[in-house]
């Protein structure tokens, strides 16, 4: 359970915050001035402090400075009335995670609280490389030549402030490597924020990243600090950078060039010192060619590029990864699976892992959770060929949309052709994922090798 320290000299504010946060399941301690806050923070090591700026005696900013020096990983959200908003900017410079202008609404508060706790979690979960046996630490596994190259690159680039572009298919460990870079950098004690550019609607992304001024748009009742300002001095991961809208790319380019930008609806240029790590599973070079990604931005991001190999190209790491995940999930579910049978391992090796390490982890998680034998067998890894319900639902929805599209585009008479096209695309994808291996492709598709061969002959797809 996360512990939050609430600090305000007004008992009513403390009371209502305490009630609200307790209802969300947080454990709350309270203080009414800066001095008390410092003492309680040292004693209880809360995950988060929510503190007023203006308090009698030692004020919020002084307390903030002390808390961030003593426990850099404790996140602090400052609260302030509108008239003291410039103090809030000072607070950000002292390392506050965010600030809230009073009065604020509960939904907004809770969302900032969640962001702050998430950021604390990212900073606390140390990532290290293969070798150290400590169960509390997340490790990057793999001794294949491809992974050794990655480690060398991380080692070289982490201590510098260079921008890094991490490329790799889905589930290859891009975020993990980004966090490893952060943990091994001189900024490890400063904030680390991850922003998924694909998960946020375009109109929100700009204000999330750069913030806005009061009155910038309807509903902007207060000035809002964006991620770049929150992250001052730290590291930001721009995940799925390929999904960043072209309009915003120009603004990001400027941050990379001179650290400057304006909040939405603002004239003042803000300067920040933020290290940028970008990640993508898209082919940015292609996107540059067709004009959906700015070439100048691409070169700015691509100072150092780390390419994560797909799992199928480093199958020699499969055994270590399997052992590692069985160990982790044993711990998580208090199970005592001793390992995997030779047949089980062969089964894992014969699969192409289109979802890479993430898919392997999910498969083993299910296997460990549901299995009651000493060693995992091929039967325990049955889920390989069956898609799980969540993914099936997504596919169903996509197919339904496709059917609608076929009818609205006037192609409804071409039933056979549409089915054939889908079939062909699936086969092409399977062959692609298995680099042309027909046995693995057939397994991936859930058809026999003979059926696959016939279809290939029929389609001239060899």
Ligand X SMILES: Nc1ncnc2c1ncn2[C@@H]1O[C@H](COP(=O)(O)OP(=O)(O)OP(=O)(O)O)[C@@H](O)[C@H]1O
Residues near ligand X, by CB under 6 A = 139-142, 168, 170-176, 281, 357-358, 361
- 113 or 301, CB closer to ligand X? 301
Q: Smallest gap, in angstroms, from Cβ of residue 429 to ligand X?
A: 17
Binding to Mg ion by residue 175, rule CB under 5 A?
Answer: yes
Q: Smallest gap, in angstroms, from Cβ of residue 299 to ligand X?
A: 23
Structure tokens at 137: 């630490």
Q: Which does 195 bind (CB under 5 to 8 A by kind): Mg ion, ligand X, none?
A: none
User: Among residues 311, 373, 365, which one has the least CA distance to residue 341?
Assistant: 373
Q: Which does 281 bind (CB under 5 to 8 A by kind): ligand X, Mg ion, none?
A: ligand X
Q: Which does 172 bind (CB under 5 to 8 A by kind): ligand X, Mg ion, none?
A: ligand X
Q: Which does 75 bind (CB under 5 to 8 A by kind): Mg ion, ligand X, none?
A: none
Residue nearest to ligand X (CB): 173
Q: Smallest gap, in angstroms, from Cβ of residue 324 to ligand X?
A: 6
Q: Smallest gap, in angstroms, from Cβ of residue 147 to Mg ion?
A: 17
- 166 or 431, CB closer to Mg ion? 166
Task: Give residues with Cβ within 8 angstroms of 46, minimum separation 6.
Answer: 3, 4, 5, 29, 40, 74
Task: Give residues with Cβ within 8 angstroms of 207, minimum separation 6.
Answer: 216, 224, 226, 264
Strand extents, DSSP E, 109-158: 127-129, 138-140
- 27 or 365, CB closer to ligand X? 365
Q: Smallest gap, in angstroms, from Cβ of residue 154 to ligand X?
A: 11
Binding to Mg ion by residue 359, rule CB under 5 A?
Answer: no
d(CA 441, CA 285): 28
d(CA 209, CA 264): 10
Residue whose tokens read 């799925």: 240
Q: Which does 140 bind (CB under 5 to 8 A by kind): ligand X, Mg ion, none?
A: ligand X
d(CA 227, CA 210): 6
Q: What is residue 135's DSSP assignment? A: T
- 38 or 205, CB closer to Mg ion? 205
Q: What are the start-end ranges of the H helices in 125-231? A: 145-157, 174-183, 202-210, 227-230
Q: Smallest gap, in angstroms, from Cβ of residue 167 to ligand X?
A: 9
- 129 or 222, CB closer to ligand X? 129
d(CA 329, CA 364): 8
Q: Which residues bind Mg ion (CB under 5 A)?
A: 175
């Amino acid at each position: 359970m996360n512990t939050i320290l609430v600090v305000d000299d007004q008992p009513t504010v403390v009371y209502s915050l305490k009630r609200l946060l307790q209802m969300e399941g947080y454990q709350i301690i309270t203080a009414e001035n800066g001095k008390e806050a410092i003492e309680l923070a040292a004693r209880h090591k809360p995950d988060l402090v929510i503190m007023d700026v203006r308090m009698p005696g030692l004020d919020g900013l002084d307390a903030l400075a002390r808390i961030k020096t003593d426990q850099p990983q404790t996140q602090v959200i400052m609260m302030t009335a509108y008239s003291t908003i410039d103090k809030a900017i000072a607070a950000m410079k002292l390392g506050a995670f965010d600030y809230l202008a009073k009065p604020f609404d509960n939904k907004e508060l809770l969302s900032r609280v969640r962001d702050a706790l998430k950021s604390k979690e990212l900073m606390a979960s140390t990532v290290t490389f293969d070798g150290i046996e400590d169960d509390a630490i997340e490790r990057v596994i793999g001794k294949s030549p491809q992974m050794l190259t990655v480690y060398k690159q991380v080692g070289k680039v982490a201590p510098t402030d260079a921008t890094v572009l991490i490329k790799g298919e889905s589930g290859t460990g891009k975020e993990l490597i980004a966090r490893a870079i952060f943990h091994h950098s001189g900024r490890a004690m400063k904030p680390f924020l991850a922003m998924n550019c694909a998960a946020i609607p375009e109109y929100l992304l700009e204000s999330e990243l750069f913030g806005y001024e009061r009155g910038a748009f309807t509903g902007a009742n207060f000035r809002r600090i964006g991620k770049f300002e929150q992250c001052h001095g730290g590291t930001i991961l721009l995940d799925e950078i390929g999904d960043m809208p072209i309009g915003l790319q120009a603004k990001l380019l400027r941050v990379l060039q001179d650290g400057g930008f304006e909040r939405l609806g603002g004239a003042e240029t803000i300067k920040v010192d933020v290290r940028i790590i970008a990640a993508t599973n898209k082919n940015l070079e292609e996107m540059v060619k067709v004009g959906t990604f700015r070439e100048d931005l691409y070169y700015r991001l691509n100072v150092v590029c780390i390419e994560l190999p797909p799992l199928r190209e480093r199958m020699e790491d499969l055994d270590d990864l399997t052992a590692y995940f069985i160990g982790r999930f044993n711990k998580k579910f208090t199970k005592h699976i001793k390992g995997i049978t030779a047949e089980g391992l062969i089964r894992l090796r014969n699969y192409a892992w289109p979802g890479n390490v993430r898919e392997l982890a999910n498969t083993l998680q299910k296997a460990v959770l549901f299995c009651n034998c000493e060693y995992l067998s091929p039967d325990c890894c049955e889920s390989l060929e069956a898609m799980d319900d969540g993914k099936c639902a997504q596919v169903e929805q996509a197919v339904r949309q496709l059917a609608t599209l076929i009818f609205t585009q006037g192609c409804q008479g071409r039933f056979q052709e549409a089915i054939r096209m889908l079939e062909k695309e699936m086969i092409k994808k399977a062959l692609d994922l298995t680099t042309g291996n027909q046995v693995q492709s057939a397994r991936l598709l859930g058809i026999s090798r003979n059926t696959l061969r016939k279809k290939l002959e029929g389609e001239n797809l060899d």
